[in-house]
Amino acid sequence: MEGDIVQMGAYVGAGLACTGMGGAAVGVGHVVGNFLSGALRNPSAAAGQTATMFIGIAFAEALGIFSFLVALLLMFAV
Amino acid sequence: MSAEAEAETGGLVFHPMDQFVVQPLFGDGPVMWYTPTNVTLWMALTVLSIVLLLVVGTRRRAIVPTRTQSVGEMAYGFVYKMVEDVAGKDGLRYFPYIMTLFMFIVFANFLGLLPMSFTTTSHIAVTAVLAIAVFLTVTILGFVKHGFGFLNIFWISQAPLVLRPILALIEIISYFVRPVSHSIRLAGNMMAGHAVIKVFAGFAAILAISPFSILAITAIYALETLVSFIQAYVFAILTCVYLKDALHPHH
Amino acid sequence: MATEVEETAGHAAESAGHAAEAVGMPQLDFSTFSNQIFWLVLTLLAIYFILSRIALPRIASVLAERQGTITNDIAAAEELKLKAVEAEDAYNKALAEARAEANRIIAETKAEIQVDLDKAIAKADAEIGVKTAEAEKAISAIRESAADNVKEVAKEAAKEIVAVLGGSADARSITSAVTARLKGASR
Protein backbone atom coordinates (compact mmCIF):
# COMPACT_ATOMS: atom_id res chain seq x y z
CA MET A 1 0.00 0.00 0.00
CA GLU A 2 2.80 2.36 0.82
CA GLY A 3 4.45 1.62 -2.52
CA ASP A 4 1.17 2.40 -4.21
CA ILE A 5 1.05 5.86 -2.66
CA VAL A 6 4.64 6.53 -3.70
CA GLN A 7 3.80 5.41 -7.22
CA MET A 8 0.69 7.58 -7.25
CA GLY A 9 2.77 10.57 -6.18
CA ALA A 10 5.27 9.83 -8.90
CA TYR A 11 2.59 9.63 -11.56
CA VAL A 12 0.88 12.82 -10.38
CA GLY A 13 4.26 14.49 -10.37
CA ALA A 14 4.92 13.27 -13.88
CA GLY A 15 1.64 14.74 -15.02
CA LEU A 16 2.43 18.05 -13.36
CA ALA A 17 5.87 18.08 -14.92
CA CYS A 18 4.28 17.74 -18.30
CA THR A 19 2.60 21.12 -17.87
CA GLY A 20 6.09 22.60 -18.23
CA MET A 21 6.05 21.48 -21.83
CA GLY A 22 3.19 23.85 -22.43
CA GLY A 23 5.46 26.69 -21.39
CA ALA A 24 8.03 25.54 -23.90
CA ALA A 25 5.32 25.44 -26.56
CA VAL A 26 4.32 29.02 -25.73
CA GLY A 27 7.96 30.05 -25.86
CA VAL A 28 8.62 28.43 -29.22
CA GLY A 29 5.44 29.92 -30.63
CA HIS A 30 6.48 33.34 -29.36
CA VAL A 31 9.91 33.06 -30.94
CA VAL A 32 8.60 31.95 -34.33
CA GLY A 33 5.71 34.39 -34.29
CA ASN A 34 7.95 37.34 -33.56
CA PHE A 35 10.41 36.16 -36.16
CA LEU A 36 7.64 35.96 -38.70
CA SER A 37 6.24 39.40 -37.92
CA GLY A 38 9.73 40.83 -38.17
CA ALA A 39 10.38 38.93 -41.38
CA LEU A 40 7.20 40.28 -42.95
CA ARG A 41 8.21 43.81 -42.08
CA ASN A 42 11.69 43.41 -43.53
CA PRO A 43 11.83 40.31 -45.71
CA SER A 44 15.30 41.08 -47.01
CA ALA A 45 16.82 40.69 -43.55
CA ALA A 46 14.90 37.50 -42.74
CA ALA A 47 17.15 35.03 -44.55
CA GLY A 48 20.18 36.00 -42.51
CA GLN A 49 18.37 35.59 -39.21
CA THR A 50 16.90 32.12 -39.70
CA ALA A 51 19.86 30.59 -37.89
CA THR A 52 19.29 32.91 -34.95
CA MET A 53 15.64 31.88 -34.87
CA PHE A 54 16.59 28.22 -34.73
CA ILE A 55 19.01 28.90 -31.89
CA GLY A 56 16.22 30.67 -30.03
CA ILE A 57 13.84 27.80 -30.67
CA ALA A 58 16.47 25.37 -29.44
CA PHE A 59 16.94 27.24 -26.17
CA ALA A 60 13.20 27.55 -25.58
CA GLU A 61 12.60 23.94 -26.46
CA ALA A 62 15.39 22.62 -24.28
CA LEU A 63 13.51 23.71 -21.17
CA GLY A 64 10.39 21.88 -22.30
CA ILE A 65 12.51 18.82 -22.89
CA PHE A 66 13.84 19.16 -19.34
CA SER A 67 10.31 18.97 -17.94
CA PHE A 68 9.58 16.01 -20.17
CA LEU A 69 12.70 14.37 -18.85
CA VAL A 70 11.55 14.95 -15.29
CA ALA A 71 8.23 13.33 -16.16
CA LEU A 72 9.99 10.33 -17.64
CA LEU A 73 12.26 10.04 -14.62
CA LEU A 74 9.26 10.04 -12.32
CA MET A 75 7.47 7.47 -14.47
CA PHE A 76 10.27 5.03 -15.00
CA ALA A 77 13.25 5.73 -12.85
CA VAL A 78 11.95 6.68 -9.39
CA MET B 1 4.92 -10.87 -23.38
CA SER B 2 2.94 -7.69 -23.75
CA ALA B 3 0.53 -9.39 -26.14
CA GLU B 4 0.05 -12.14 -23.64
CA ALA B 5 -0.57 -9.67 -20.87
CA GLU B 6 -3.10 -7.77 -22.97
CA ALA B 7 -4.91 -10.93 -23.91
CA GLU B 8 -5.16 -12.00 -20.32
CA THR B 9 -5.99 -8.75 -18.60
CA GLY B 10 -7.83 -7.06 -21.44
CA GLY B 11 -6.03 -3.83 -20.61
CA LEU B 12 -3.45 -1.80 -22.42
CA VAL B 13 0.21 -2.32 -21.68
CA PHE B 14 2.61 0.29 -22.88
CA HIS B 15 6.30 -0.27 -23.16
CA PRO B 16 7.42 2.99 -24.68
CA MET B 17 10.94 2.59 -23.35
CA ASP B 18 11.56 -0.94 -24.60
CA GLN B 19 12.89 0.35 -27.89
CA PHE B 20 15.80 2.04 -26.14
CA VAL B 21 17.16 -1.08 -24.45
CA VAL B 22 20.77 -1.80 -25.20
CA GLN B 23 21.23 -5.52 -25.73
CA PRO B 24 23.96 -7.73 -27.13
CA LEU B 25 23.60 -8.62 -30.78
CA PHE B 26 24.67 -12.22 -30.22
CA GLY B 27 23.64 -14.26 -27.26
CA ASP B 28 22.26 -12.91 -24.03
CA GLY B 29 25.29 -12.19 -21.91
CA PRO B 30 26.12 -9.08 -19.93
CA VAL B 31 26.92 -5.89 -21.85
CA MET B 32 30.66 -5.34 -21.55
CA TRP B 33 32.37 -2.30 -23.05
CA TYR B 34 33.52 -4.29 -26.09
CA THR B 35 30.33 -6.31 -26.65
CA PRO B 36 28.83 -5.82 -30.10
CA THR B 37 25.34 -4.55 -29.27
CA ASN B 38 22.49 -3.00 -31.22
CA VAL B 39 24.33 0.28 -30.59
CA THR B 40 27.20 -1.13 -32.63
CA LEU B 41 24.88 -2.25 -35.40
CA TRP B 42 23.11 1.05 -35.80
CA MET B 43 26.26 3.10 -35.50
CA ALA B 44 27.83 0.91 -38.16
CA LEU B 45 24.80 1.51 -40.36
CA THR B 46 25.20 5.23 -39.74
CA VAL B 47 28.81 5.10 -40.89
CA LEU B 48 27.76 2.99 -43.87
CA SER B 49 25.09 5.52 -44.88
CA ILE B 50 27.54 8.39 -44.63
CA VAL B 51 30.07 6.48 -46.72
CA LEU B 52 27.38 5.66 -49.29
CA LEU B 53 26.30 9.27 -49.54
CA LEU B 54 29.58 11.15 -49.36
CA VAL B 55 32.13 8.67 -50.71
CA VAL B 56 30.35 6.22 -53.01
CA GLY B 57 27.89 8.86 -54.16
CA THR B 58 30.66 11.20 -55.29
CA ARG B 59 33.03 8.56 -56.69
CA ARG B 60 32.56 9.72 -60.28
CA ARG B 61 33.41 13.36 -59.46
CA ALA B 62 30.91 14.39 -62.10
CA ILE B 63 30.72 18.03 -63.12
CA VAL B 64 27.03 17.48 -63.73
CA PRO B 65 26.10 15.62 -60.54
CA THR B 66 23.95 12.56 -60.19
CA ARG B 67 21.14 12.64 -57.67
CA THR B 68 23.17 11.12 -54.84
CA GLN B 69 26.16 13.32 -55.53
CA SER B 70 23.90 16.33 -55.61
CA VAL B 71 22.52 15.48 -52.16
CA GLY B 72 26.04 14.98 -50.85
CA GLU B 73 27.14 18.32 -52.24
CA MET B 74 24.06 19.93 -50.76
CA ALA B 75 24.95 18.58 -47.31
CA TYR B 76 28.52 19.81 -47.74
CA GLY B 77 27.39 23.23 -48.89
CA PHE B 78 24.81 23.49 -46.11
CA VAL B 79 27.27 22.79 -43.30
CA TYR B 80 30.05 24.81 -44.96
CA LYS B 81 27.85 27.87 -45.25
CA MET B 82 26.62 27.42 -41.68
CA VAL B 83 30.18 27.29 -40.31
CA GLU B 84 31.23 30.23 -42.44
CA ASP B 85 28.24 32.37 -41.48
CA VAL B 86 28.22 31.64 -37.77
CA ALA B 87 31.82 30.92 -36.81
CA GLY B 88 33.49 33.12 -39.40
CA LYS B 89 36.24 32.44 -41.93
CA ASP B 90 38.74 31.15 -39.38
CA GLY B 91 36.12 28.70 -38.13
CA LEU B 92 36.42 26.84 -41.42
CA ARG B 93 39.46 24.99 -40.08
CA TYR B 94 37.08 23.08 -37.84
CA PHE B 95 34.62 22.38 -40.63
CA PRO B 96 35.40 18.62 -40.83
CA TYR B 97 34.75 18.31 -37.10
CA ILE B 98 31.34 19.99 -37.32
CA MET B 99 30.54 18.09 -40.50
CA THR B 100 31.31 14.85 -38.64
CA LEU B 101 28.97 15.78 -35.81
CA PHE B 102 26.21 16.93 -38.15
CA MET B 103 26.36 13.93 -40.45
CA PHE B 104 26.49 11.49 -37.55
CA ILE B 105 23.51 13.04 -35.78
CA VAL B 106 21.39 13.52 -38.86
CA PHE B 107 21.93 9.96 -40.05
CA ALA B 108 21.51 8.43 -36.61
CA ASN B 109 18.24 10.36 -36.24
CA PHE B 110 16.92 9.36 -39.65
CA LEU B 111 17.95 5.70 -39.23
CA GLY B 112 16.22 5.76 -35.86
CA LEU B 113 12.98 6.61 -37.64
CA LEU B 114 12.96 3.25 -39.42
CA PRO B 115 10.53 0.83 -37.79
CA MET B 116 12.11 -1.65 -35.36
CA SER B 117 15.32 0.35 -35.37
CA PHE B 118 17.40 1.60 -32.47
CA THR B 119 18.05 5.31 -32.10
CA THR B 120 21.59 5.77 -30.89
CA THR B 121 21.14 9.51 -30.38
CA SER B 122 18.26 8.94 -27.95
CA HIS B 123 20.78 7.86 -25.33
CA ILE B 124 22.12 10.46 -22.98
CA ALA B 125 25.43 8.59 -22.87
CA VAL B 126 25.90 9.21 -26.59
CA THR B 127 24.76 12.81 -26.72
CA ALA B 128 26.64 13.62 -23.52
CA VAL B 129 29.86 12.39 -25.10
CA LEU B 130 29.15 14.53 -28.16
CA ALA B 131 28.33 17.58 -26.06
CA ILE B 132 31.27 17.14 -23.71
CA ALA B 133 33.56 16.72 -26.69
CA VAL B 134 32.29 20.01 -28.07
CA PHE B 135 32.58 21.67 -24.66
CA LEU B 136 36.14 20.50 -24.12
CA THR B 137 37.17 21.36 -27.66
CA VAL B 138 35.78 24.86 -27.38
CA THR B 139 37.19 25.51 -23.92
CA ILE B 140 40.67 24.20 -24.73
CA LEU B 141 40.66 26.01 -28.06
CA GLY B 142 39.69 29.25 -26.34
CA PHE B 143 42.49 29.01 -23.81
CA VAL B 144 45.05 27.96 -26.44
CA LYS B 145 44.13 30.81 -28.77
CA HIS B 146 43.67 33.59 -26.26
CA GLY B 147 45.25 32.41 -23.00
CA PHE B 148 43.43 33.95 -20.06
CA GLY B 149 41.91 36.51 -22.41
CA PHE B 150 39.35 33.83 -23.09
CA LEU B 151 37.86 34.59 -19.67
CA ASN B 152 36.68 37.90 -21.16
CA ILE B 153 33.54 36.15 -22.35
CA PHE B 154 32.44 36.09 -18.71
CA TRP B 155 33.28 39.75 -18.10
CA ILE B 156 30.88 41.87 -20.10
CA SER B 157 32.57 45.22 -20.57
CA GLN B 158 29.46 46.96 -21.93
CA ALA B 159 27.55 46.43 -18.67
CA PRO B 160 27.74 48.84 -15.70
CA LEU B 161 30.57 47.97 -13.33
CA VAL B 162 28.23 47.10 -10.47
CA LEU B 163 26.39 44.52 -12.50
CA ARG B 164 29.47 42.87 -13.94
CA PRO B 165 30.19 40.37 -11.12
CA ILE B 166 26.56 39.24 -11.12
CA LEU B 167 26.57 38.93 -14.90
CA ALA B 168 29.87 37.07 -14.71
CA LEU B 169 28.33 34.57 -12.30
CA ILE B 170 25.34 34.09 -14.61
CA GLU B 171 27.63 33.74 -17.62
CA ILE B 172 29.78 31.15 -15.86
CA ILE B 173 26.74 29.13 -14.85
CA SER B 174 25.28 29.31 -18.34
CA TYR B 175 28.67 28.33 -19.77
CA PHE B 176 28.74 25.17 -17.69
CA VAL B 177 25.09 24.38 -18.37
CA ARG B 178 25.84 24.44 -22.10
CA PRO B 179 26.90 20.77 -22.43
CA VAL B 180 23.96 19.68 -20.29
CA SER B 181 21.33 21.44 -22.38
CA HIS B 182 23.24 20.63 -25.54
CA SER B 183 23.11 16.89 -24.87
CA ILE B 184 19.72 16.61 -23.19
CA ARG B 185 18.03 18.62 -25.94
CA LEU B 186 19.03 16.10 -28.58
CA ALA B 187 18.47 12.97 -26.51
CA GLY B 188 15.21 14.28 -25.08
CA ASN B 189 13.80 15.22 -28.46
CA MET B 190 14.63 11.84 -29.92
CA MET B 191 13.38 9.94 -26.89
CA ALA B 192 10.17 11.95 -26.62
CA GLY B 193 9.21 11.51 -30.25
CA HIS B 194 9.86 7.79 -30.30
CA ALA B 195 8.10 7.23 -26.97
CA VAL B 196 5.05 9.16 -28.20
CA ILE B 197 4.90 7.06 -31.35
CA LYS B 198 5.14 3.95 -29.23
CA VAL B 199 2.34 5.12 -26.93
CA PHE B 200 0.06 5.80 -29.90
CA ALA B 201 1.01 2.39 -31.27
CA GLY B 202 -0.16 0.91 -27.94
CA PHE B 203 -3.59 2.54 -28.43
CA ALA B 204 -3.88 0.83 -31.81
CA ALA B 205 -4.73 -2.40 -29.95
CA ILE B 206 -8.23 -1.02 -29.30
CA LEU B 207 -10.19 -1.55 -32.49
CA ALA B 208 -12.41 1.55 -32.16
CA ILE B 209 -9.60 4.05 -31.95
CA SER B 210 -6.98 2.30 -34.04
CA PRO B 211 -7.66 4.41 -37.19
CA PHE B 212 -7.15 7.56 -35.15
CA SER B 213 -4.08 6.00 -33.62
CA ILE B 214 -2.57 5.19 -37.01
CA LEU B 215 -3.36 8.71 -38.22
CA ALA B 216 -1.71 10.15 -35.14
CA ILE B 217 1.36 7.97 -35.64
CA THR B 218 1.62 9.23 -39.22
CA ALA B 219 1.37 12.84 -38.08
CA ILE B 220 3.90 12.38 -35.29
CA TYR B 221 6.18 10.55 -37.69
CA ALA B 222 6.13 13.51 -40.05
CA LEU B 223 6.87 15.84 -37.15
CA GLU B 224 9.68 13.56 -36.03
CA THR B 225 11.23 13.61 -39.49
CA LEU B 226 11.34 17.38 -39.25
CA VAL B 227 12.60 17.30 -35.67
CA SER B 228 15.35 14.82 -36.60
CA PHE B 229 16.79 17.25 -39.07
CA ILE B 230 16.23 20.36 -36.98
CA GLN B 231 17.91 18.84 -33.93
CA ALA B 232 20.95 17.88 -35.97
CA TYR B 233 20.98 21.41 -37.39
CA VAL B 234 20.58 22.96 -33.95
CA PHE B 235 23.35 20.81 -32.51
CA ALA B 236 25.70 21.79 -35.33
CA ILE B 237 24.79 25.47 -35.24
CA LEU B 238 25.20 25.67 -31.47
CA THR B 239 28.60 24.05 -31.88
CA CYS B 240 29.39 26.82 -34.38
CA VAL B 241 28.18 29.46 -31.92
CA TYR B 242 30.35 28.05 -29.13
CA LEU B 243 33.25 27.86 -31.57
CA LYS B 244 32.76 31.51 -32.43
CA ASP B 245 32.91 32.35 -28.72
CA ALA B 246 36.20 30.50 -28.48
CA LEU B 247 37.68 32.13 -31.58
CA HIS B 248 36.44 35.69 -30.92
CA PRO B 249 35.82 36.02 -27.17
CA HIS B 250 35.70 39.82 -27.33
CA HIS B 251 32.42 40.05 -29.18
CA MET C 1 -12.58 -19.92 -12.57
CA ALA C 2 -12.64 -16.51 -10.95
CA THR C 3 -9.68 -17.30 -8.79
CA GLU C 4 -7.87 -18.56 -11.81
CA VAL C 5 -8.48 -15.31 -13.71
CA GLU C 6 -7.45 -13.33 -10.68
CA GLU C 7 -4.35 -15.36 -10.38
CA THR C 8 -3.37 -14.94 -14.01
CA ALA C 9 -4.13 -11.23 -13.82
CA GLY C 10 -1.98 -10.95 -10.77
CA HIS C 11 0.72 -12.89 -12.51
CA ALA C 12 0.50 -10.68 -15.56
CA ALA C 13 0.64 -7.54 -13.48
CA GLU C 14 3.58 -8.93 -11.60
CA SER C 15 5.39 -9.82 -14.80
CA ALA C 16 4.58 -6.42 -16.29
CA GLY C 17 5.88 -4.78 -13.15
CA HIS C 18 8.94 -6.93 -13.35
CA ALA C 19 9.47 -5.95 -16.97
CA ALA C 20 9.04 -2.27 -16.14
CA GLU C 21 11.52 -2.64 -13.35
CA ALA C 22 13.97 -4.42 -15.58
CA VAL C 23 13.55 -1.83 -18.33
CA GLY C 24 13.04 1.36 -16.33
CA MET C 25 14.74 4.03 -18.31
CA PRO C 26 17.38 2.37 -20.48
CA GLN C 27 19.05 5.75 -20.84
CA LEU C 28 19.94 5.64 -17.14
CA ASP C 29 21.24 2.08 -17.17
CA PHE C 30 24.84 2.93 -16.36
CA SER C 31 26.08 -0.57 -17.09
CA THR C 32 25.67 0.07 -20.81
CA PHE C 33 27.40 3.46 -20.82
CA SER C 34 30.92 2.20 -21.37
CA ASN C 35 29.73 0.09 -24.26
CA GLN C 36 27.93 2.97 -25.94
CA ILE C 37 30.74 5.42 -25.38
CA PHE C 38 33.29 2.97 -26.79
CA TRP C 39 31.33 2.36 -29.96
CA LEU C 40 30.44 6.04 -30.30
CA VAL C 41 34.06 7.14 -30.11
CA LEU C 42 34.98 4.48 -32.66
CA THR C 43 32.16 5.62 -34.96
CA LEU C 44 33.05 9.29 -34.67
CA LEU C 45 36.71 8.61 -35.38
CA ALA C 46 35.75 6.51 -38.40
CA ILE C 47 33.44 9.20 -39.74
CA TYR C 48 36.00 11.92 -39.06
CA PHE C 49 38.75 10.13 -40.93
CA ILE C 50 36.50 9.15 -43.82
CA LEU C 51 35.25 12.71 -44.14
CA SER C 52 38.52 14.57 -43.70
CA ARG C 53 40.63 12.18 -45.78
CA ILE C 54 38.30 11.17 -48.61
CA ALA C 55 34.89 12.74 -48.80
CA LEU C 56 35.39 16.42 -48.03
CA PRO C 57 38.48 17.02 -50.21
CA ARG C 58 36.77 15.20 -53.04
CA ILE C 59 33.56 17.21 -52.78
CA ALA C 60 35.56 20.41 -52.40
CA SER C 61 37.55 19.61 -55.53
CA VAL C 62 34.38 18.74 -57.44
CA LEU C 63 32.75 21.98 -56.38
CA ALA C 64 35.87 24.00 -57.23
CA GLU C 65 36.11 22.26 -60.58
CA ARG C 66 32.48 22.98 -61.29
CA GLN C 67 32.97 26.60 -60.28
CA GLY C 68 35.95 26.77 -62.61
CA THR C 69 34.03 25.16 -65.44
CA ILE C 70 31.13 27.54 -64.94
CA THR C 71 33.49 30.53 -64.86
CA ASN C 72 35.23 29.29 -68.02
CA ASP C 73 31.94 28.67 -69.72
CA ILE C 74 30.72 32.13 -68.81
CA ALA C 75 33.95 33.63 -70.11
CA ALA C 76 33.66 31.59 -73.30
CA ALA C 77 30.06 32.67 -73.68
CA GLU C 78 31.12 36.28 -73.17
CA GLU C 79 33.79 35.85 -75.84
CA LEU C 80 31.32 34.26 -78.22
CA LYS C 81 28.93 37.10 -77.59
CA LEU C 82 31.65 39.61 -78.42
CA LYS C 83 32.43 37.64 -81.57
CA ALA C 84 28.80 37.63 -82.53
CA VAL C 85 28.62 41.37 -82.04
CA GLU C 86 31.75 41.76 -84.14
CA ALA C 87 30.32 39.54 -86.83
CA GLU C 88 27.16 41.57 -86.84
CA ASP C 89 29.16 44.77 -87.17
CA ALA C 90 31.15 43.30 -90.05
CA TYR C 91 27.98 42.16 -91.69
CA ASN C 92 26.41 45.58 -91.34
CA LYS C 93 29.56 47.18 -92.70
CA ALA C 94 29.64 44.82 -95.66
CA LEU C 95 26.00 45.51 -96.25
CA ALA C 96 26.55 49.27 -96.21
CA GLU C 97 29.54 48.91 -98.53
CA ALA C 98 27.59 46.75 -100.92
CA ARG C 99 24.79 49.27 -100.88
CA ALA C 100 27.18 52.14 -101.57
CA GLU C 101 28.81 50.12 -104.38
CA ALA C 102 25.44 49.35 -105.87
CA ASN C 103 24.49 53.02 -105.71
CA ARG C 104 27.75 53.96 -107.32
CA ILE C 105 27.28 51.42 -110.09
CA ILE C 106 23.75 52.62 -110.63
CA ALA C 107 24.95 56.23 -110.84
CA GLU C 108 27.75 55.29 -113.22
CA THR C 109 25.49 53.29 -115.42
CA LYS C 110 22.99 56.10 -115.40
CA ALA C 111 25.71 58.56 -116.38
CA GLU C 112 26.95 56.26 -119.13
CA ILE C 113 23.47 55.80 -120.42
CA GLN C 114 22.95 59.55 -120.26
CA VAL C 115 26.12 60.12 -122.22
CA ASP C 116 25.11 57.55 -124.83
CA LEU C 117 21.68 58.99 -124.93
CA ASP C 118 22.98 62.50 -125.35
CA LYS C 119 25.31 61.33 -128.06
CA ALA C 120 22.54 59.48 -129.82
CA ILE C 121 20.22 62.46 -129.49
CA ALA C 122 22.89 64.81 -130.83
CA LYS C 123 23.58 62.43 -133.67
CA ALA C 124 19.94 62.11 -134.42
CA ASP C 125 19.55 65.90 -134.24
CA ALA C 126 22.44 66.37 -136.62
CA GLU C 127 21.00 63.80 -138.98
CA ILE C 128 17.65 65.39 -138.72
CA GLY C 129 19.21 68.80 -139.43
CA VAL C 130 21.03 67.39 -142.50
CA LYS C 131 17.90 65.71 -143.72
CA THR C 132 15.91 68.88 -143.17
CA ALA C 133 18.44 70.95 -145.04
CA GLU C 134 18.42 68.44 -147.86
CA ALA C 135 14.67 68.41 -147.93
CA GLU C 136 14.56 72.19 -147.87
CA LYS C 137 17.04 72.31 -150.68
CA ALA C 138 14.97 69.81 -152.62
CA ILE C 139 11.85 71.79 -151.91
CA SER C 140 13.44 75.04 -152.99
CA ALA C 141 14.78 73.30 -156.09
CA ILE C 142 11.37 71.98 -156.79
CA ARG C 143 9.91 75.39 -156.19
CA GLU C 144 12.51 76.93 -158.50
CA SER C 145 11.82 74.47 -161.21
CA ALA C 146 8.10 74.90 -160.66
CA ALA C 147 8.49 78.68 -161.11
CA ASP C 148 10.60 78.17 -164.22
CA ASN C 149 8.01 75.78 -165.56
CA VAL C 150 5.30 78.26 -164.87
CA LYS C 151 7.31 80.97 -166.64
CA GLU C 152 7.93 78.72 -169.61
CA VAL C 153 4.29 77.66 -169.75
CA ALA C 154 3.20 81.26 -169.43
CA LYS C 155 5.63 82.29 -172.18
CA GLU C 156 4.41 79.57 -174.44
CA ALA C 157 0.85 80.29 -173.55
CA ALA C 158 1.34 84.02 -174.15
CA LYS C 159 3.04 83.41 -177.54
CA GLU C 160 0.26 81.09 -178.55
CA ILE C 161 -2.37 83.50 -177.40
CA VAL C 162 -0.63 86.38 -179.22
CA ALA C 163 -0.34 84.25 -182.30
CA VAL C 164 -3.96 83.26 -182.16
CA LEU C 165 -4.96 86.86 -181.73
CA GLY C 166 -3.10 87.54 -184.89
CA GLY C 167 -0.23 89.47 -183.52
CA SER C 168 3.31 88.60 -183.53
CA ALA C 169 5.51 89.26 -180.68
CA ASP C 170 9.12 88.76 -180.33
CA ALA C 171 10.37 86.39 -177.67
CA ARG C 172 12.11 89.06 -175.64
CA SER C 173 9.11 91.26 -175.00
CA ILE C 174 6.95 88.31 -174.12
CA THR C 175 9.50 87.07 -171.65
CA SER C 176 9.84 90.45 -169.93
CA ALA C 177 6.08 90.89 -169.83
CA VAL C 178 5.58 87.44 -168.29
CA THR C 179 8.36 87.98 -165.82
CA ALA C 180 6.85 91.30 -164.77
CA ARG C 181 3.47 89.72 -164.42
CA LEU C 182 4.80 86.80 -162.40
CA LYS C 183 6.64 89.13 -160.11
CA GLY C 184 3.48 91.11 -159.60
CA ALA C 185 1.50 87.92 -158.97
CA SER C 186 4.03 86.63 -156.54
CA ARG C 187 4.09 89.95 -154.78
Minimum-distance CB partner of A58 among B82, B185, B192: B185
What percent of chain B stands above pLDDT 70? Answer: 95
For B66-113, how does the pLDDT look when each residue is reduced to its tens digit (9 = 90+)?
Answer: 899 999 999 999 999 999 988 888 889 999 999 999 999 999 999 999
| pLDDT above 70 (res B211) | yes
Minimum-distance CB partner of A62 among B181, B192, B233: B181
B36, amino acid identity: P
Which chains reach chain C with 3 or more Cβ–Cβ distances below 8 angstroms? Answer: A, B
- Residue B17 neighbours by CB under 8 Å, 6+ apart: A76, B195, C23, C24, C25, C26
For B158-168, how does the pLDDT look when each residue is reduced to its tens digit (9 = 90+)?
Answer: 888 888 888 88
Q: Which residues on chain A place their C-beta less than 8 Å from a C-beta of chain C?
A: 72-73, 76-77
Burial B150-171 (b: 16+ CB within 10 A, else e): beebbeeeeeeeeebeeebeee
φ, ψ (nearest 5 deg) of residue B73: -65, -35
Task: Test C36 with B99 for CB contact under 8 angstroms.
Answer: no
Q: How far is B123 from chain C (nearest CA, A)?
A: 5
Give bridge partners of residue B37 from the DSSP assignment.
B24
B219, amino acid identity: A
Task: Give burial (CB, 10 Å; 0-12/13-18/19+) of B143.
Answer: middle
The confidence score (pLDDT) of residue B6 equals 40
Which chains reach chain A with 3 or more Cβ–Cβ distances below 8 angstroms? Answer: B, C
Confidence check on the interface: ipTM exceeds 0.90, yes or no: no
Below-50 pLDDT ranges, chain C: 1-22
For C142-156, how does the pLDDT look when each residue is reduced to its tens digit (9 = 90+)?
Answer: 888 888 888 888 888
CA C117 to chain centre: 34
Closest C-alpha among B247, B131, B120 to residue B184: B131
| Best residue in A61, A75, A76 for a mutation probing chain B (most B CBs within 10 Å) | A61
- Annotate B15-78 with three-state secondary structure: CCCHHHCCCECCCCCCCCCCCCEHHHHHHHHHHHHHHHHHHHCCCCCCCCCCHHHHHHHHHHHH
| pLDDT above 70 (res B3) | no
For B15-70, how does the pLDDT look when each residue is reduced to its tens digit (9 = 90+)?
Answer: 778 888 888 888 777 888 888 888 999 999 999 999 999 999 888 888 888 899 99
Task: Test B50 with C47 for CB contact under 8 angstroms.
Answer: yes
C85, amino acid identity: V
CATH number of A2-77: 1.20.20.10
Work out the average pLDDT over B182-186.
90
Q: How far is A62 from chain B (nearest CA, A)?
A: 5
Q: Is C28 on the interface with A (CB under 8 A)?
A: yes
Q: Which residues on chain B place their C-beta less than 8 Å from a C-beta of chain A?
A: 17, 82, 85-86, 181, 184-185, 188-189, 191-192, 195, 230, 233-234, 237-238, 241
Q: Are B34 and C32 contacting, i.e. CB atoms less than 8 angstroms apart? A: no
What is the rounded average pLDDT for all residues in chain B?
87
Q: How far is C28 from chain B (nearest CA, A)?
A: 8
Q: Is A58 on the interface with B (CB under 8 A)?
A: yes
| pLDDT above 60 (res B8) | no
Work out the average pLDDT over B133-155.
88
Task: Test C50 with B54 for CB contact under 8 angstroms.
Answer: yes
Q: How far is B230 from chain A (nearest CA, A)?
A: 8
Q: Tell me the DSSP string of C125-160.
A: HHHHHHHHHHHHHHHHHHHHHHHHHHHHHHHHHHHH
Task: Give the containing element (helix H, strand E) for C182.
Answer: helix C171-186
- Domain positions in chain A are 2-77
B90, amino acid identity: D
- Band of pLDDT at residue B11, cut at 50, 70 and 90: low
